[in-house]
Amino acid sequence: MSDIHHPGRRSVLTAGLASAAALGGSWLLTGCAGAEAAPVLPAAAAKGAPDRGGTLRIARPPASDAETLDPASSLSAYEYLGALYNRLVRIGSNGELAPDLAESWEPDAKARTWTFHLRKGVTFHNGRAFTSADAAYSLRHILDKATASPQAAVLAPLIDPAKLGTPDAHTLVVPLKTPNAEFPSLLTHYNCYVIPDGSAKSVGRTGIGTGPFKLESFAPAGPGRVTAYTDHWAGRPVLDAIAFYSVADMSARSNALLAGQVDLLSQTNLDFATARVVAASDRATIARVKNAQWYVLPMLTTEKPFTDVRVRQAMKLAYDPEHVVQVALQGAGTPGWDNPVPPSDPAYISAHPKHDPEQAKYLLKQAGHEGLAMDLYTSSYDPLFTPMALAYQDSAKRAGIRIKVKTASADSYYTQIWMKKPLMATYWFTGRPVDQLFTQIFRSGSSYNETAWSDKGFDAVLDRARAELDDTKRRELYGEAQTLVIEKGGAMTPMFADRLVGISRKVRGYAEHGFEFDYLGIGLKGA
Amino acid sequence: MLSFITRRIAAAVGTLFLSSVLVFLAVQALPGDVATQILGKDATPDAVAALREKLKLDKPAWERYADWVGGALHGDFGTSLVSGKAVGGEVSTYLGNSALIALVTVLFAVTGSIVLGVLAGLYRDRWPDHLISTVSLVGMSVPEFVVATVLVLCFSVALPWFPAVVLYGPDASVGQLLPAVWLPALALAVVMAAYIVRMARTSVIDVMATEYVTTARLKGLSTWRVVTRHALPSALLPTLHVIALNVAWLVGGVAVVENVFNYPGIGKLMLSSVQNRDLPTIQAIALISAVVYVVCNLAADLATMALNPRLRTRGRTR
């Protein structure tokens, strides 16, 4: 802060007024341009090689005042994890699995036992060598009830922590309770970063991992700093250091970027108005994470009238996802057509029923709900909820469906509205492997099953897919699962939205997709 | 005078108790509790039950309140349900940061607005009066977060003189916070000053019309001497009360402005603890706010009495 000096009062006032006029002027310009201004938002961040070194400053929303560096915890400080740790397996930019600390992996003939061959010559930040004991310990740590890890719900039905095998220092054997051909993909979750053996008590503060950066300081919901780990197995990162700052308020975060105090806003999907202001600034610009946010209008299948599959089908046929993308996203995204699998996923199928308000009317008449009237809940939790709800309301009118959009308080939205009201707006970050997506959010009885949908046929398809080792056949089964969700499920997926990320014009090599952030390649130019 | 003070202090203690009950009930009435708020989407029934047990939320509400009152009476405000730190220490760290803003604000607002108010009063119905009155009316009508945002746009974004937000945590030193104090203080001072300017102007006009001021002028004293020696002390009297009430208002105003600037003060702590339903922290903050309010009012009344002989003697004869 040494560059801040205190000018005289008079000059502050006059210069301030002049700059206010200038800013107002530029806003008017962008505002008046209207439709022409829409394509102004850049499609990608600046390309080109970064300079070596430098400190990247990231503003982040704190997970909680009790946040921790323990990757398995539900209160983990997400942005630090990818810098400090590695997983066994990660998801590559093409959506396929890619090696991380495991160089290769293979199942037995029945997909009941998986063997991971671990990378040699990897060291933790404290100098200790990484071995299979650490990998096994990290899995046991996730499964430990005391950790209360969200990923335990996914892994506990599959793994018995006592049976993990470590035949040698660089081999991990995981016997499964039920066959699962997609098991390695479940280890790509951000709760599955590898921590040193026996570090459950301390890792939340020390952050010791094998990642490209090592921890210098960390305060829950406060500032923190990581510095380049020169002995990282994949080579030294471009940056010398990353400073993380916690800024809870979203407009305060964008102000910090506009004022040049930070270089990147993480986990922040800017609204279009703010994004325009950022893009017009000469310090900052907008980068996009394609289809990063999966927007859902879940219908609770246990609440009337959504207990009737014909009503659910009518709700889906009644609206036009293209219209929602144009209105709510100003085109910055992809229509979902009620398929929860993002278009970038290798298992994605593009087939879907056409928008058909007449058929919707017919189905509603059959079900005895002609001229259906429903409340649709939204909140300011995310800037796109209300535009999406209004676009749906508008589009569904043609099928005679009357939607009333109701706004609920943002701070209790996920405790009072989500999974409680029959119809509401919500979203997830994309990046879940397809098996986890279906198992966690659509399978009968799962704790994240936000439509409370229960379909034995669908569950059976998931089981068959898990037991199928042939990649092509397995993908066909996941295609079948998508068809079932589209035709019978309770979730409407109107759109996948690009995340509009505020980023300094100096940043180069920014790459983020799903839960993957490239900390090795990101850097600064001319800083 | 003494009986008046004792009555006021007794009433103050009653107010504090009532406010603690009201805040407790209000937080109980909010949907969700610490466990569901912290876990959010990950609030599976198992996780919520485990966290509730860990935080002793499974005890009935009145029992938790009684525990809290018992501790508070002994100076122990409990531990934060979210961070697990002692509330007393945590709140005082944030309070100290806020005090820095409050101090600068009060200095800005009081000196600035009295000068402006007196000027407006002296130049009644001429252009300085119109200018000052209009600007202060605008300041009064515009909400503080708008003023704060405009200040950020001017002096952080367009002209990079001050930081737009504070990037440090609550443990930041005064030196680290100092560059960031000016904009929030200015935003608060603008809103606060409006009331004081209006009040000072009115009382200066009143005083300048009195006979003793006329006499002083006839004696041949300069305007400067008349104003500083004779008019100002009397004109300040009604202004004092407005100042005291505005200092109390600061406690609330600071909450909004601190969040705009990400300033690690009591207002930001309050917002996050309400969002988290962190009852012990909310209670402690509410108690402090109530104390500030009560003390400011008491101080205003006492100061008015001390400066006004008529009120003082009426208290004595009773």
User: pLDDT tens-digit profile of A86-99?
Assistant: 999 999 888 889 99
Pick A4's closest partner by Cβ from B31, B165, B179: B179
CB contact under 8 A, B165 and A281: no
Count the neighbouring beta carbons within 10 Å of the beta carbon of residue A400.
18
Q: Residue A35 pLDDT more than 50?
A: no
**Angstroms from A106 CA to nearest CA on chain B:** 32
Global pTM reads: 0.83
CA distance to partner chain A, nearest, from residue B16 (Å) = 28
For residue A228, CA distances in Å to A211, A222, A242, A353 come to 9, 21, 8, 51
What residue has token string 């209009």?
A: B134
Task: Give me the pLDDT at residue B192, please.
Answer: 82
Q: Give the model's pLDDT for residue A214.
A: 96
> Residue A490 has what pLDDT?
94
Locate the chain B residue with the closest alpha carbon to A409: B31
pLDDT at A431: 85
Asked if A523 and A239 touch (Cβ cutoff 8 Å), the reply is yes
pLDDT > 70 fraction of chain B, expressed in percent and rounded: 94
- DSSP letter, residue A53: -
Q: Which residue has the higher pLDDT, B292 or A190?
A: A190
List of chain B residues whose C-beta atoms are within 8 Å of the C-beta of residue A411: 37, 274-275
Helix (H, G, I), strand (E, B) or coil at B179: helix
* Chain B positions in Cβ-Cβ contact with residue A246 (cut-off 8 Å): 169
Mean pLDDT for B161-186 is 87
Name the residue facing B169 among A20, A66, A222 (closest C-beta): A222
- Best mutation site among B165, B177, B256, B269 for testing chain A: the one with the most A CBs within 10 Å? B165
Q: Chain B residue closest to A221 (CA)?
A: B169
Identify the band that residue A2 occupies on the pLDDT scale cut at 50, 70 and 90. Answer: very low
Report, as an integer, the average pLDDT of A111-140: 96
pLDDT at A407 over 50: yes
Q: Is there a contact between A181 and A469 (Cβ–Cβ < 8 Å)?
A: yes
Cβ-Cβ pairs closer than 8 A, A with B, add up to 147
Q: A141-152, pLDDT tens digit by residue?
A: 999 988 888 888
Chain B hits for A247, CB-CB cut-off 8 Å, are 165, 167, 262
Q: Is the pLDDT of residue A137 over 90?
A: yes
For A434-443, the pLDDT digits (tens) are: 998 999 899 9
CB-nearest to B167 from A15, A64, A223 is: A223
Q: Sorting pLDDT into bands at 50, 70 and 90, what band is A164?
A: very high
pLDDT band for B196, please (50, 70, 90 cuts): confident
Give the mean pLDDT of chain A.
Answer: 88
Tell me the chain B residues in contact with residue A1 when contact means C-beta distances shorter than 8 Å: 163, 176, 179
- Range with the poorest average pLDDT among A338-342, A435-439, B123-127, B311-315: B311-315
> Of the candidates B38, B176, B182, which has its C-beta nearest A64's C-beta?
B38
**Among the partner residues A23, A222, A251, nearest to B158 by beta-carbon distance:** A23
Q: pLDDT band for position A265 (50/70/90)?
A: very high
B2 touches chain A (CB under 8 A): no
Find the CB nearest A414 among B41, B154, B171. B41
For residue A5, the model assigns a pLDDT of 33
What pLDDT sits at residue B314?
A: 53
Residue with tokens 């029959």: A422
Q: How far does B242 lie from chain A, in Å, by closest CA?
A: 26
Please list the residues that pair with A68 across neighbouring strands.
Answer: A76
Which of B157, B159, B183, B269 to probe by mutation at the A interface, max A CB count within 10 Å?
B157
Average predicted confidence (pLDDT) for chain B:
82
CB-CB contact of A139 with A118 (8 Å): no
Higher pLDDT, B225 or A401: A401
Backbone angles phi, psi at B16, to 5 degrees: -60, -45
- pLDDT, position B313: 60
**Angle subtended by helix axes A250-258 and A272-280, to nearest 10:** 10
What does the pLDDT read at residue B312?
59
**Contact indicator for A268, A502 with CB cutoff of 8 Å:** yes
Closest chain B residue to A411 measured between Cα atoms?
B275
> Residue A415 and residue B43: Cβ atoms within 8 Å?
yes
Give me the mean pLDDT over the B107-129 stretch.
Answer: 86
Sign of CA dihedral A175, A177, A179, A184: negative
> A16 CA to chain B: closest CA distance, Å?
5
Structure confidence at residue A216 as a pLDDT band (50, 70, 90)? very high
pLDDT higher than 60, residue A218: yes
Helical ranges in B123-231 per DSSP H: 127-141, 144-152, 174-208, 211-218, 223-225
> Is some CB atom of chain A closer than 8 A to the CB atom of B163?
yes
Nearest to A266 by CA among A459, A61, A521: A61
Contact B217, B186 (CB under 8 A): no
Arithmetic mean of pLDDT, A328-346: 92
* B235/A contact by beta carbon, under 8 A: no
Tell me the average pLDDT across A237-249: 93
Cα–Cα distance, A393 to A385 (Å, whole number): 12
pLDDT band for A374, please (50, 70, 90 cuts): very high
Measured between alpha carbons, how far is A242 from A263 in angstroms, rounded to an integer? 10
Tens digits of residue pLDDT in B233-279: 777 777 777 778 777 778 777 888 888 898 988 888 888 888 888 88
**Beta carbons of A255 and B152 less than 8 Å apart:** yes
In the numeric block, the tokens 């609206």 are attached to A319
Which residue among A66, A258, A414 sits closest to B82, beta carbon to beta carbon? A66
Q: Give tens-digit pLDDT for B65-99.
A: 888 788 878 878 888 878 778 888 888 888 888 88
User: What is the average pLDDT across A428-433?
Assistant: 88
